[in-house]
Amino acid sequence: MTQRPTALRVSLAVLALAATLALGVRLGLQLGALNAANGDLADAQRNAADLQRTARQGVGPPLFEASSADAADVLGQRLQALGLAVRKTDVAAATPAGRDLVLTRFVVEGRGDPAAVDRLALWAEANARSAILEQLTANAGDDGKSDLKIELDALVRSPPFAKAPAS
């Protein structure tokens, strides 16, 4: 009769040891998975910070401030200051690009000599974070000047809209 209680005690001890080992293994696996998830979270946070820093560096200051109605006129004046004779400036598209910023596609028709076209290219290069010269088409004329078609994307700061009076 002493063998049965001893066998029962040993069996219970072995069962308790096996359960303890199984729980330890399970806890170890869960801790490993938790550490891996924390590592993934840290990597994701680093990537998000890198992307935010890159976005802040990639988008420059606005090229100018104007309402959407005045933006074409303001750009036309800037291009005239570079020596181009601007005939027509249109806003082809406008997309929000951040707080009070609008990415605006301008299509400009004008006329200019090679020096003015060169100044335009240098101006676009100098403002590369705020403007992208998408397309420049020049058809040379007999007088040494070229008919120009310019497509330019530019960041424009739009003033806050005035609230309409309540009726």
Q: What is the pLDDT of residue 97?
A: 79
pTM for the model: 0.60
Task: Convert 117-128 to b/e letters by CB count within 10 Å (16 or more is b).
Answer: bebbeeebeebe
Q: Domain total for the chain?
A: 2
Domain boundary among 39, 58, 77: 58
Nearest C-alpha neighbor of 154 from the set 137, 129, 136? 129
Does residue 79 share a domain with residue 52?
Answer: no
142 near 134, Cβ under 8 Å?
no
Strands 146-157, 64-65: pairing is parallel
CA atoms within 13 A on the CB side of 122: 8
pLDDT tens digits for range 83-112: 999 999 999 998 887 778 888 999 999 999
Does residue 14 share a domain with residue 41?
Answer: yes
Q: What is the pLDDT of residue 130?
A: 87
Radius of gyration of the chain (CA): 34
Does residue 26 share a domain with residue 5?
Answer: yes
- Please give the Cα distance from 108 to 75 (Å, whole number): 9
Q: What percent of the chain has pLDDT over 70?
A: 87
Give the 3-state DSSP-derived string for the chain, with helices as H, strands as E and coil as C.
CCHHHHHHHHHHHHHHHHHHHHHHHHHHHHHHHHHHHHHHHHHHHHHHHHHHHHHHHHCCCCCEECCCCCHHHHHHHHHHHCCCEEEEEEEEEEEEEECCEEEEEEEEEEEECHHHHHHHHHHHHHCCCCEEEEEEEEEECCCCCEEEEEEEEEEEECCCCCCCCCC
pLDDT tens digits for range 109-125: 999 999 999 999 999 99
Does residue 148 share a domain with residue 122?
Answer: yes
Does residue 111 share a domain with residue 70?
Answer: yes
- Please give the Cα distance from 2 to 10 (Å, whole number): 12
Does residue 27 share a domain with residue 95?
Answer: no
pLDDT tens digits for range 124-161: 999 888 888 999 999 988 888 999 999 999 988 877 65
Q: What is the pLDDT of residue 69?
A: 63
Does residue 129 share a domain with residue 95?
Answer: yes
Domain boundary among 34, 58, 82: 58
Does residue 109 share a domain with residue 94?
Answer: yes
